[in-house]
Amino acid sequence: MNNKYEAEINKRRTFAIISHPDAGKTTLTEKFLLYGGAINLAGSVKGKATARHAVSDWMEIEKERGISVTSSVLQFEYDGFCINILDTPGHQDFSEDTYRTLMAADSAVMVIDASKGVEAQTRKLFKVCVMRKIPIFTFINKMDRDANDTFELLDEIEKELGIATCPINWPIGSGKNFKGVYERKSKSVFTYSDTEKGTKEGETEIIPIAERDKLTAEIGEDALSLLEEEIELLDGASAEFDLSEVQSGNLTPVFFGSALTNFGVEVFLKHFLEMTTTPLPRISDKGPIDPVENEFSAFVFKIQANMNKAHRDRVAFMRICSGRFDAGMEVKHVQGGKVMRLSQPQQIMADSRKILDEAYAGDIIGVFDPGIFSIGDTLCMPKDNFKYAGIPTFAPEHFARVRQLDTMKRKQFVKGVTQIAQEGAIQIFKEFNTGLEEIIVGVVGVLQFDVLKYRLENEYNVEIRLEPLPYEHIRWVENTDLDLNKLVGTSDMKKVTDMRDNPLLLFVNPWSIQMVLDRNEGLVLSEFGKN
């Protein structure tokens, strides 16, 4: 492949931002964009009084509630790099979307609230990163508010997440006493000054630690002597910085700052770009696919309907894994067995789009989906034939029966529910031996029910009633030759089929699963659905 491709691919950096809700992830994303010149004024997510909403939250329900429901993709240029950020929903009810998004990232930035430490959702997402061995960079945010003890925060990351930490800089105080950060490599203090809600860069002075008099005048004698004690402790106790350990996912570099007031964000971005890698080879059923050596290939990790209300469209998001994509080229959709041209390839910046002529390995593009793509599908050159590893389907934990209130709107109802299910946010099931008169919906998090109701009303003009069901456990029936009519069940079991007519069993009690296995010789049940 020619050198122009290689140079383009090597300047790509693709990462996901993960955190517990409200740790300041969306604010941090906006500040990155501010430095990249992609936006001129960062919209504080908290400032609901103004009409500015976070740039990366585009769905109406997100603007009303101030939470991110779907992952969005943002691209910007900074310092010779082309950066693709995957901003993920923090709320646990939408964690499935985040899991899928992490499949498309080469590294992850973990945002932690300095006053709360590691929270439940961070733990869960972190496990996915560990499973994939992707490098993790930690930004401890909200230092402009009272924070937990710094050593305790690091200790908690190490204990809870099982990863070594290496602080690149160190905070001086927090809340009203936050004076700035000490950078270990340059042995200098970066002083902190509050800016107006971080809409511009603050004035930061850099003072070498050797200049004691100047530092004392700036941060005070007490803060300086405490800092000197902590540096001594830190140098003796913390892990040495080792780039290969960072890149193999065993060591996380830690940075401190305040995204809201824009302190420490650019320093973090610069270090991050030095430490992250170019797009990496991906595993396929034919072995690893090299981003530079191989021609175009990609996989679909997300499908989103109705991003533009006027057009009733569906967009399939794909991560390009190798080579270069040209707008007019023919590609093979491996799962569908068809050679095709991808329609309306575009780069998406939250809700604005630009049509693309070309894109490279590491980039995320959206293409128009006429209903043929599924999550996990592979695209490659017509002469090639390989599949990237699939993306697991998570078993739903909450179920409800869905009824439409106006039977005349049957068509819209079926279309709406089917499209939302294809995005992967909900899973739909039918009662065994019936049509789609009544649908059972399964979700990972209960907030997904609210989103379903909201979207059906707003995007498809269909009102529904949701009736919660007591089932909490689901199993796919693996046997292909089984007659469900003859299955000996339990009183708390329900037989259903998915949209591909695969048989499934729902249970209220976990112990019933074993009872059904005991009563039906040769029955094989599995926890994960087939993609």
169 Cβ neighbours under 8 A, 6+ residues apart = 181, 182, 183, 184, 190, 255, 256, 264, 267
**pLDDT digits 0-9 by tens, 219-259:** 888 999 999 999 999 888 777 899 999 988 889 999 999 98
Measure Cα distances from 487 to 481, 483, 519, 523 in Å.
12, 7, 9, 9
Write the burial class of residue 495 (CB in 10 Å: 0-12 exposed, 13-18 middle, 19+ buried): middle
How confident is the model at residue 254, as a pLDDT?
Answer: 95
- Rounded distance between C-alpha atoms, residue 173 and residue 188, angstroms: 16
**Both tokens of residue 126?**
């972190």
CB-count exposure of residue 4 (10 Å: 0-12, 13-18, 19+): exposed
Helices 120-132 and 150-161: crossing angle, nearest 10°? 60
Burial of 352 (0-12, 13-18, 19+ CB in 10 A): exposed
pTM of the shown model: 0.73
8 A C-beta contact, residue 417 and residue 402 = yes
* pLDDT tier, 348 (very low <50, low <70, confident <90, very high otherwise): low
> For the chain, first and last CA: distance in Å?
33
Nearest Cα neighbor of 102 from 127, 83, 69, 123 is 127
Q: Which residue has the higher pLDDT, 36 or 325?
A: 325
Can you tell me the distance from the alpha carbon of 64 to that of 353, in angstroms, rounded to the nearest whole number? Answer: 22
Locate all alpha helices (DSSP H) within 333-409, ordered by sequence.
none
- Residue 63 contacts by C-beta under 8 Å, 6 or more apart in sequence? 53, 57
Q: How confident is the model at residue 355 (pLDDT cuts 50, 70, 90)?
A: confident
State the Cα–Cα distance between residues 247 and 243, nearest whole angstrom: 6
Task: Show the tokens assigned to 139.
Answer: 């930004």
CB 12 within 8 A of CB 82: yes
Distance separating alpha carbons of residues 37 and 219, to the nearest angstrom: 32
Q: Is the dihedral of CA 167, 169, 172, 175 positive or negative?
A: negative
Q: What pLDDT does 44 receive? A: 33
Confidence of residue 305 (pLDDT cuts 50, 70, 90): low
Nearest partner of 276 among 126, 106, 29, judged by Cα: 106
Average pLDDT over residues 419-433: 78
In this predicted structure, the answer to whether residue 70 has a pLDDT above a threshold of 80 is no
What pLDDT is recorded for position 296?
Answer: 94
HSE value, Cβ hemisphere, 13 Å, CA-based, for 18 = 35
pLDDT of residue 48: 31
132-140: average pLDDT: 89
Unique residue bearing structure tokens 């998570």: 394
